[in-house]
Amino acid sequence: MPPVPSVRGDRLVKALQKAGFDIARVAGSHHILRHPDGRGTTVPVHGGRDLAKGTLRGILNDVDMTVDELQQLL
């Protein structure tokens, strides 16, 4: 399994939008994204800070995406 890249929340939201996800709503600093096929996740967007590795892995599990697929979208 390749290592998880360091990525900010805003960059992850843009990458997920390229993959077909839409921002359903924003609750504070958390962006809730939904895909037309029913998949969904919450991405914390905290200024210029990178996401924690475990948080990013959890988001990738939520959206059924591999690290390689994410890197292609970034």
pLDDT per position as a tens digit, 18-33: 999 999 999 999 999 9
Place of tokens 């360091």: 6
What's the mean pLDDT in 2-25?
92
Considering the domain delimited by 9-68, tell me its CATH architecture: 2-Layer Sandwich (3.30)
**Given this model, what pLDDT does residue 2 score?**
78
| Three-state DSSP class for residue 55 | helix
The length of the chain, given as a count of residues:
74
Q: Which of 56, 27, 18, 21 is nearest to 40 (CA)?
A: 21
**Given this model, what pLDDT does residue 47 score?**
82
What's the mean pLDDT in 37-56?
92
What's the mean pLDDT in 52-72?
92
pLDDT > 70? residue 1: no
Q: Amino acid identity, residue 59?
A: I
Domain range annotation of the chain: 9-68
Quickly state the pLDDT bin for 39 (edges 50, 70, 90).
very high
